[in-house]
Structure 1
Amino acid sequence: MFAAVCFLFLLTTAHAQFQTVGDGGPGPVKAQHLTVQLVSASPAITPGGTLQAGLAFTLDPHWHVYWVNAGDAGEPPKITWTLPTGITAGDLQFPIPSRLPNEPLMDFGYENSVTFPILFTAEKSLKTGKIHLDAKVSWLVCARVCIPGRAHLGLDLNVTPGATPTQPTGALADAIHLLPQPPPADAKLTVMGGKSYFVLTLITGHKETTAEFYPFDQNQIVNAAPQTVEPLSNGVRLRIQRAPDLTTLPAQLHGLIKLSSTKAYDFTAPITPGEVAPAAGTKPAGNASGLTTITAIGLAFLGGIILNLMPCVFPVLFLKGLALVQSSSEERSRLRSHGLIYTLGILVSFWIIVAVLLGLRAGGAQAGWGFQLQSPVFIAVLSLGLFFFALSLAGQFELGLSLTSVGGELAQKQGFAGSFFTGVLATIVATPCTAPLMGAAIGFALAQPAGITFAVFTALGLGLATPYLLLSFQPAWTRILPRPGQWMETLKQLTAVPLFLTAIWLAWLFGRLYSPASSLDHMAYLLIGFLLVAIAGWTLARWPARWGSAIAAVVLGALAVAMSLYSPKDTTLVWQPYSQQALDQARAAGHPVFIDFTAAWCLSCQVNERLVLRSADVQHELAEHKLTLLRADWTQYDPEITKELASLNRSGVPTYVIYPANQNAPADVLPELLTKDLVLAAIDRDAH
């Protein structure tokens, strides 16, 4: 029923999209889905003076027009003036916009109503009397479909010497008030540009709880990606996903930072290459400026101790504790040696991390704790490793309590090596976690000289190693634990739960490293890697303590990593540009024809293309039935495309039509919003 109503509506509005409404006179004019007019603060202008005016739109519900940067699709309003000698018009000014989501894309614009201020300036030589300002206006209005519009508007003014300036009122005054301003003189705005994110830090002197960023330049950010807001006690920090195709870091960033619906700052700031670690359960690093070196070292040590309780690390410490319980009869000196070597493994790992961080800083970059999580390879290997480890804890197969043994004999020969690499493992699995107190200490350390940075991270490593180190020096403390028994196996299996949860979180993070259009695909490849790891675990359980099963598990693990990092080639079919000649030739040859009427400024068109027309099922059926694919690009006005749309009783894009192979069959016009099932059914219906 809804489709029928839409069809009747579009039938009644055929041919209207490029008709110019209005006769150039003053007053509002009605166009499709909106009313537009020129308004002014006063009917008079003084020679040598200025007059504030505006282009005002009143929109139907759920329809919108666009900001100066429309986002993923769209076009801003444009105006061309014919003015009397002595009058000049300033540029169209754009008030604070809003984000207009249409998953998986995002536009920037205005709903309900908007006025774009314009400032007129009169020369001193302007003669008194009546003058007429003539304007040709064009726009794009969108909801589920996008429709271009044009209007011929005008404004009559009196040139009156000594006229009393009139302050704007109503919607014009509101629009002027909503124009973005430069940041205050006492504000400080910095931009850090990393591999995957831009981090904007605005210091205003007081806490800001909301913020949004709007770029003036296209193709710099992922418009639809969530923007993470980190309130600071004296401002706000905003993390914005960098566009994957932005291979070279720009020298500067020009954009709008919106703090509320009525306050936004227009800024241009240089971009400093580097990474800023996101806050995780701690105060922002900017609040750590009051720390002393001793305080930072103490906080790092305590944070390292607490880090043992994080879901990423606790299973490792728990298994080491079980090993102590079972080996409490060993010589005390040997137990202490295990504790010291475990601690050395942690410290060496932390020192390597600090060396990498300092190397990046020396090269002009900046990175923080967990910077490895910006690497898809690191996240894939870590998540697969944790998943594999969790399967062992859950009881699918037995790796051994030393974590590094593949058999009892090897564990005995490599006992100290096992303790060392257990410390390495504890450090690796700790990087996704940030314990309380850590954030301030790390933020302080990364801004200090190399010696202090090493001291703080060494304290963090010592804190991480302390619980097991104390137990190894005082094995009698293990007496507070129940004696070995079945409970140990049950508890060991329960510790698999936080590791499985960590693996799930890493899989989500893995998808976030890619663009919204491909994130789900990459997550699916990683999940296939999880399946291969599970098969590897089953192989070890089915044929335990055999080299053949170990080799098979290694091969499956390598395949899991390769699958996780797989990026399929673009198999999108090639579309030919639309022309009446191409359509006639294909139909004369008896080929079914699919025409995609689209435009770069049409958001619904981009959504349909990415989610439906580029899908593997639809691509396969289009190729299988040998449809001739024509793309009618209406981004710029094309009379031939307009004529074809009118013949289909359509007035906007998106429009999709299939001409069946049978030349006598009527055109099959599809709905504006596509689904895969709908398109596949139409192909099957019309391709014979």
Structure 2
Amino acid sequence: MNIRYSLLAAVCLLFLLPTAHAQLPVAGDGGPGPAKSQHLTVQLVSASQTIAPGGTLQAGLAFTLDPHWHVYWLNAGDAGEPPKITWTLPAGVTAGALQFPIPQRLPNEPLMDFGYENSVTFPILFTTTKSLKSGTIHLDAKVSWLVCARVCIPGKAHLGLNLTAAPGAAPSQPAGQLAEAIQLLAQPPPAGTKLTVMGGRSDFVLTLITGHRETTAEFYPFDQDQIVNAAPQTVEPLPNGVRLRIQRAPDLTMLPAQLHGLIKLSPTTAYDLTAAITPGEVAPAAGSKPASSASGITTITAIGLAFLGGIILNLMPCVFPVLFLKGLALVQSSGEERSRLRSHGLVYTLGILVSFWIIVAVLLGLRASGAQAGWGFQLQSPTFIAVLSLGLFFFALSLAGQFELGLSLTSVGGELAQKQGFAGSFFTGVLATIVATPCTAPLMGAAIGFALAQPAGITFAVFTALGFGLATPYLLLSFQPAWTRILPRPGQWMETLKQLTAVPLFLTAIWLAWLFGRLYSPASSLDHMAYLLVGFLLVAIAGWALARWPARWGSAIAAVVLGALALTTSLYSPKDTTLVWQPYSQQALDQARAAGHPVFIDFTAAWCLSCQVNERLVLRSADVQRQLADHKLTLLKADWTQYDPEITKELASLNRSGVPTYVIYPSSQTAPADVLPELLTKDLVLAAISRDAR
């Protein structure tokens, strides 16, 4: 299974690499086709050979495939890529995007592809301006695809259409395979159709109301990584529609705001639907087994698994450093009265249990309000992750030896037990619970999943067993201090080992930083992760201050201020620009200029610091955004983060060899390009807009 998946992924990667892709044999000679390639033929079809200025023409990209081979839908499923087409068009002609007919589910064990077998045509709509000159025009297309069966093979073709532009040419109605493909496009839902989506712990439940009973349905998401593509989709017919239960992707830790997809009711009927997701569970239809019963877990079994999982949780990198330091404190305080040591163990256990009871109370409160959360639900909150990661990083710096944090602050170690008494042991239990939330030990998952679906009493019992398991190792040592004799005697080794325990905490902080970025949209995740890393830097400066001036109020106050600043910086969320920047291409530039639009091109790269400063301080400023919008500039972003020969060529034509480069092409096609300086100011950009966008 893994070998096949790896092979498929490797071939898909080959398809995506420009250097490899450039070596593929190219089918076709620039004509409409059909062009023969491996396991398929491809051609361009059109409703007519003429087109009128100011009119439209329906065309399509048609594939005929060998038996058992397929090409892909817009969302390919578990692996693959949809066909792509790049046009070179004469001035005055614009090509719409490829449109994708209703797909099929194509099992490729253990994966699931979404695509087409036998034959498929992807409709394309061309539009022309009224200024289009009469005569023969050529529409040139570069096509690429991935065709798969047990293996995948990338392909390329050079196709084209020769048309006659003639005033008054009447549009022809599509026929044959093109007409069929247009009829198979997903449609907006009819009036009265309603879709609701409930998002649970493990599934989405879609309820589609159409006004009459539906017996079949399939869901195809437009966004990847939201569902388990290969999992069966359970259909429950309703008197006025259908209910569809779909397994949620296990890596989807946070519910998205909405679900956008295609619901296929028959081979010829499908609706393009978007619905907000409401957290909550929907009970399976009568006669089906609930998840807890199907798993075979009983209440006693869940309590036992939770207890064992809690014990194992002590060995997780999140928790072990805290337990280890508490164990060292026990070794150092072994001379105390046995009854006092036992009391400390019981208070430590109470701290863990109280923390777990608070978590359960919050979980049950959320469940009662209709929300949905599970173990680690705190990790869906950016604020919680920022506080936890900054705290763990600060704690790890102390363990690594940058500074002495002060045992009264860390709630660990023997001195805390002596100075702070039982409060130290209690809050050490709280700390152990907090740092345990990012971890899930073996056996925990099934027990917690069972508990969260049960009445409140059973939920409390299972989580109490989990907390008691977490507390058990230290509790046993406190009741049997003689067992500490198997540990080495106190000495310098304790300091060295304490510093080594900083390593798993640093790793946990890194993982939390990664998770922090995942809570935001892909476009802003790296920015938010960078803000959190700046927070780590401020925390490190706070640690330096505590080490430079130990045990002084001034350094403590400075550390608190820096910590607050670190949290504020980590949670900083700047407003995104309201302007839409399109990816740069020569075609996009030519089309905008042909239409008489002024064009602003931002040649930038993620690694270019000056680019980022100019963007945030100037291009995103309210004044510049308003002027760009008012003057209706076409905005193109030429991203040079990775080498792009087309962008390099355009830079060379502007006598520039790097980024940042900013250029405005005036609305007049005869006016020269206005190349701006590398360092921008608002006044400079505003003056250029006023000058070039008249």
* Separation (CA, whole Å) in 1 of partners of 2:618 and 2:276: 47
The Cα shift of 1:232 comes to: 9.8
* Separation (CA, whole Å) in 2 of partners of 1:72 and 1:241: 28
How big is each residue's C-alpha offset from its partner over 1:49-88, in whole Å with a ceiling of 9 and x where there is no partner?
xxxxx965249xxxx997599999996557xxxxxxxxxx
- What is residue 421 of structure 1 aligned with on the other side? 427
1:663 to 1:313, Cα distance in 2 relative to 1, 3 A:
same
1:420 to 1:596, Cα distance in 2 relative to 1, 3 A:
same
Alignment pair present for 1:322 and 2:319: no
Alignment pair present for 1:333 and 2:339: yes
Q: Is the 8 A contact 1:306 1:435 kept in 2?
A: yes
Q: Is the 8 A contact 2:310 2:466 kept in 1?
A: yes
* Separation (CA, whole Å) in 1 of partners of 2:561 and 2:417: 23
Q: Is the 8 A contact 2:104 2:116 kept in 1?
A: no
Identify the match of residue 249 of structure 2 among 232, 238, 253. 238
How big is each residue's C-alpha offset from its partner over 1:150-193, in whole Å with a ceiling of 9 and x where there is no partner?
98777889xxxxxxxxxx9xx999x99x999xxxxxxxx99643
Alignment pair present for 1:37 and 2:45: yes
Aligned-pair identity (%): 63
* Separation (CA, whole Å) in 1 of partners of 2:529 and 2:334: 44
Q: Is the 8 A contact 1:296 1:441 kept in 2?
A: yes
- What is residue 465 of structure 1 aligned with on the other side? 471
Alignment pair present for 1:115 and 2:120: yes
- What is residue 274 of structure 1 aligned with on the other side? 279
Alignment pair present for 1:562 and 2:576: no
How big is each residue's C-alpha offset from its partner over 1:518-555, in whole Å with a ceiling of 9 and x where there is no partner?
00000000000001111111111111111221111111
Aligned length, in residue pairs: 502
Classify the secondary structure of the residue corresponding to 1:273. strand
Alignment pair present for 1:517 and 2:514: no
Identify the match of residue 617 of structure 1 among 614, 618, 623. 614
Alignment of 1:177-256 (within 5 A): 192-193=198-199, 199-200=203-204, 214-215=220-221, 223=223, 237-239=248-250, 254-255=261-262
Classify the secondary structure of the residue corresponding to 1:544. coil
Q: Is the 8 A contact 1:200 1:239 kept in 2?
A: no
Alignment pair present for 1:631 and 2:639: no
| Counterpart residue type for residue 426 of structure 2 | F
Alignment of 1:36-435 (within 5 A): 36-37=44-45, 57-58=62-63, 67=74, 93-96=101-104, 115-116=120-121, 192-193=198-199, 199-200=203-204, 214-215=220-221, 223=223, 237-239=248-250, 254-255=261-262, 273-274=278-279, 289-400=295-406, 404=410, 412-435=418-441
- What is residue 514 of structure 2 aligned with on the other side? 508
How big is each residue's C-alpha offset from its partner over 1:314-336, in whole Å with a ceiling of 9 and x where there is no partner?
00100010000000000111111
Q: Is the 8 A contact 1:28 1:37 kept in 2?
A: no
| Counterpart residue type for residue 43 of structure 2 | T
* Separation (CA, whole Å) in 2 of partners of 1:272 and 1:663: 48
Q: Is the 8 A contact 2:389 2:513 kept in 1?
A: yes
Identify the match of residue 438 of structure 1 among 422, 438, 444. 444
1:139 to 1:375, Cα distance in 2 relative to 1, 3 A:
farther
The Cα shift of 1:657 comes to: 6.5
Classify the secondary structure of the residue corresponding to 1:510. helix
Q: Is the 8 A contact 1:660 1:667 kept in 2?
A: yes
1:303 to 1:215, Cα distance in 2 relative to 1, 3 A:
same
Q: Is the 8 A contact 1:275 1:367 kept in 2?
A: no
* Separation (CA, whole Å) in 1 of partners of 2:229 and 2:426: 39
Q: Is the 8 A contact 1:386 1:499 kept in 2?
A: yes
1:521 to 1:497, Cα distance in 2 relative to 1, 3 A:
same
Classify the secondary structure of the residue corresponding to 1:115. strand
* Separation (CA, whole Å) in 1 of partners of 2:395 and 2:370: 37
1:444 to 1:193, Cα distance in 2 relative to 1, 3 A:
same
RCO (CA 8 Å, sep 6+): is it higher in 1 or 2? 1
1:140 to 1:460, Cα distance in 2 relative to 1, 3 A:
farther
* Separation (CA, whole Å) in 1 of partners of 2:472 and 2:232: 33
* Separation (CA, whole Å) in 2 of partners of 1:399 and 1:520: 31
The Cα shift of 1:609 comes to: 12
| Counterpart residue type for residue 36 of structure 1 | L
The Cα shift of 1:343 comes to: 0.4
Alignment pair present for 1:456 and 2:462: yes
Classify the secondary structure of the residue corresponding to 2:331. helix
* Separation (CA, whole Å) in 2 of partners of 1:150 and 1:621: 46
Q: Is the 8 A contact 2:280 2:372 kept in 1?
A: yes
The Cα shift of 1:304 comes to: 0.3
1:348 to 1:558, Cα distance in 2 relative to 1, 3 A:
same
* Separation (CA, whole Å) in 2 of partners of 1:440 and 1:199: 16
- What is residue 480 of structure 2 aligned with on the other side? 474
* Separation (CA, whole Å) in 2 of partners of 1:190 and 1:71: 32
Q: Is the 8 A contact 2:308 2:443 kept in 1?
A: yes
1:406 to 1:505, Cα distance in 2 relative to 1, 3 A:
closer
| Counterpart residue type for residue 346 of structure 1 | I
- What is residue 493 of structure 1 aligned with on the other side? 499
* Separation (CA, whole Å) in 1 of partners of 2:556 and 2:60: 73
The Cα shift of 1:450 comes to: 0.6
Q: Is the 8 A contact 1:29 1:37 kept in 2?
A: no
1:618 to 1:191, Cα distance in 2 relative to 1, 3 A:
closer
Identify the match of residue 538 of structure 2 among 513, 527, 532. 532
Q: Is the 8 A contact 2:516 2:529 kept in 1?
A: yes
Deviates more, 1:566-575 or 1:357-366: 566-575
Q: Is the 8 A contact 2:98 2:122 kept in 1?
A: no
The Cα shift of 1:37 comes to: 3.2
Q: Given the two structures, how large is their TM-score scaled by the length of structure 1?
A: 0.58
1:110 to 1:156, Cα distance in 2 relative to 1, 3 A:
closer
* Separation (CA, whole Å) in 2 of partners of 1:524 and 1:419: 36
RMSD: 6.3
The Cα shift of 1:254 comes to: 4.8
1:435 to 1:267, Cα distance in 2 relative to 1, 3 A:
farther
1:275 to 1:548, Cα distance in 2 relative to 1, 3 A:
farther
* Separation (CA, whole Å) in 1 of partners of 2:116 and 2:142: 10
* Separation (CA, whole Å) in 1 of partners of 2:671 and 2:271: 56
1:76 to 1:368, Cα distance in 2 relative to 1, 3 A:
same
- What is residue 647 of structure 2 aligned with on the other side? none
Q: Is the 8 A contact 1:94 1:117 kept in 2?
A: no
Q: Is the 8 A contact 2:322 2:432 kept in 1?
A: yes
| Counterpart residue type for residue 238 of structure 1 | A
- What is residue 639 of structure 1 aligned with on the other side? none
* Separation (CA, whole Å) in 2 of partners of 1:149 and 1:324: 83
Classify the secondary structure of the residue corresponding to 1:238. coil
The Cα shift of 1:231 comes to: 7.1
Q: Is the 8 A contact 1:300 1:437 kept in 2?
A: yes
| Counterpart residue type for residue 617 of structure 1 | N
The Cα shift of 1:403 comes to: 5.6
Unaligned runs of 5+ in 1: 7-12, 40-53, 79-91, 99-107, 119-137, 158-167, 181-188, 203-211, 217-222, 277-283, 588-592, 598-604, 635-647, 649-655, 671-675, 678-682
The Cα shift of 1:616 comes to: 3.8
* Separation (CA, whole Å) in 2 of partners of 1:369 and 1:66: 36
* Separation (CA, whole Å) in 1 of partners of 2:230 and 2:539: 37
The Cα shift of 1:377 comes to: 0.2
Q: Is the 8 A contact 1:200 1:237 kept in 2?
A: yes
Q: Given the two structures, how large is their TM-score scaled by the length of structure 2?
A: 0.57
